[in-house]
Structure 1
Amino acid sequence: MDLKPLITLLAIVNPLAIVPFFIHYTQGFTLEQRRHTVWVSSFSCFVVIAISALAGLHILDFFGISLASFQVGGGMLLLISAMNMLNAQPAEAKTNTHELEDGAEKAAMGASIAVVPLTIPLLTGPASMSTVVIYAEKAKTIFQLSALLGYGVVIAAATAICFSLAEPIARVLGKTGINVMTRLMGLILAALSVEVMSDGLVKLFPMLGR
C-alpha cells in the first residue's frame, strides 16, 4: 500500500498548526459547542477529501483541463504551501488577514466556523484538493481508490484528536513546538511538490524525461 498520499495530506492539512486557530475561534464556547465544532470540522474535512477523490477528475474533464497541467499547477500550489509552512504558517493560510476576519463575521451571523474558516480554507484548501485529485488519477483499482478515501478518514481522525486535545497540545508544545513541527512538515511537502511538478512537466514535455 502506497503511503505517500497519506504523508502528503498530513503534511498539508497539518491539524497541529491549526490548533491555535481552533482555540481562537472557539473562545467562549461551552464544552458541548466545542465538541460539536470538532465533530463537524473533522467530518467536513473527510467530505472535502472524498468529493475531491471521487469527482475531481470529472470536474477537470468538464473544463477540459489535462491532468498534466493540473499536476504542474497543483505542484506549484503545494510548493507555495510548503513555503508558508517553512515560515511557520498553516499550509492553507490566507494571504489576506481580512479574509479570516470575514470568516469570523460569517460565524457571528450564524455560519458554522467548523466549516468556514476551520475546514475551508485552513485545513482543506486548494492545495489539499489538488493533491487528492492528482493521487485519485493514479488510483487504478477500486482498492486503491478506497485506500485514498481511507486516508481521508485518517486525516479526519487526526484532526479530531488534535482539536479535542487543543488546550493540552498548546500547553505542552507551545508556539515554538508547533512552529518546529510546521517547518518540518513544510520541508517534506516541498520535496513532494517538486516530484508532483516534475511528473506533470514530463507528461507535457516528453523530451524532459530523456
Structure 2
Amino acid sequence: MLDFTEYTKIFISLFAIIDPVGIIPIIIAFTAGMTAQKRERVGRMASLSVFVILLVALLLGEAVLNFFGISIHSFRTAGGILLLLMSITMLIGNKPTMTPDDIDGDATSSVAIVPLSTPLLAGPGAISTVILDAHKGSNIGHYGVMALVLVALSVTVWLTFLIAPWVSRRLGKIGSNIVTRLMGLLLAAIAVEFIAGGLRGLFPALG
C-alpha cells in the first residue's frame, strides 16, 4: 500500500486527465434545452458512470482488454472517432440536445453516458492511468484507497455539472451558441489527437 502523498498524486493526475472543469462549455452544449431537473439527472448519471467505468478499469480493466485482445491504443482510436462524430454535429448546429417534451429519459441517459462520461471524462487516458496505478499495489487496502480516489473524482464531476448551468446563464443564448461552435472545433481537435495517438501506438512506424 502506498503512502498518502502517492495517493494524492494519483488523484491530481487523474483530475488533470479527466479535466471536468475544462469541459464545462461542452456540458453546456450537450445539455442546452434541458430542464433543470434533467440537467441534474444527467450530472448524477455522468458522475456515477465515471465512477463505475473507472472502478471496472481498476479491478478488471487489463483482464477485459486482454480477454478481447484489445489494446489501449485501439480503445483510444475508437474513442477519438466517436468524439469526432460528436464534434461534427456540434459544428453544423445539430447537437443532440433535449427539450422539455422529452419524458422517457432515454436520450437524456444516452447523452450522460456517451459522450460526456466516456470518452470525454472517463476516456482512454483516464482508463489506462487507472490500470497502471492499480499495479502500484496488490493488497486490498491499496484497491480500497484507489476506490476512494475514484469516489472523490466522481464527486468533482457532479459538482462541475452543478456549476455548468450558472455559467450558461451568464453566457446567454448567443454566447452559448458561439461556445458550442468553438467547443465543437476544440472537440474535433481533441478527437484527432486521440486518433493520432492511438494510431502511433498501433503502428510505431508512424511515430
Bucket of the pairwise TM-score, normalised by the shorter protein = 0.5 to 0.7
**Does the CA contact (< 8 Å) of 1:8 and 1:189 recur in 2?**
no
State the shift of 1:144 in Å. 5.9
Pairwise mapping of residues 88-167 of structure 1 onto structure 2 (< 5 A)? 89=90, 107-109=102-104, 111=105, 114=108, 116-125=109-118, 128-131=121-124, 132-139=126-133, 140-141=135-136, 142=142, 146-167=148-169
How many residues of Structure 1 are paired with residues of Structure 2 in the alignment? 184
TM-score, structure 2 normalization = 0.62
Pairwise mapping of residues 151-190 of structure 1 onto structure 2 (< 5 A)? 151-171=153-173, 173-190=175-192
**Does the CA contact (< 8 Å) of 2:73 and 2:199 recur in 1?**
yes
**Does the CA contact (< 8 Å) of 1:75 and 1:194 recur in 2?**
no
CA distance in 2, matches of 1:188, 1:130: 12
What percent of counterpart residues are identical? 10
CA distance in 1, matches of 2:165, 2:40: 9
CA distance in 1, matches of 2:177, 2:157: 22
Cα separation, partners in 2 of 1:62 and 1:180, compared to 1, 3 Å:
closer
Pairwise mapping of residues 185-196 of structure 1 onto structure 2 (< 5 A)? 185-196=187-198
Partner of 2:139: none
Cα separation, partners in 2 of 1:74 and 1:181, compared to 1, 3 Å:
same
CA distance in 1, matches of 2:120, 2:40: 23
State the shift of 1:137 in Å. 0.5
Q: Which runs of 5+ in 2 are unaligned?
A: 1-8, 137-141
1:54 aligns with 2:55: yes
SS of residue paired to 2:90: coil
Partner of 2:3: none
1:34-53 superposed Cα distances (whole Å, 9 cap, x missing partner): 1x433332222111111111
Q: What is the alpha-carbon root mean square deviation over aligned residues?
A: 4.2
CA distance in 2, matches of 1:145, 1:195: 28
Partner of 1:9: 18
Partner of 2:4: none
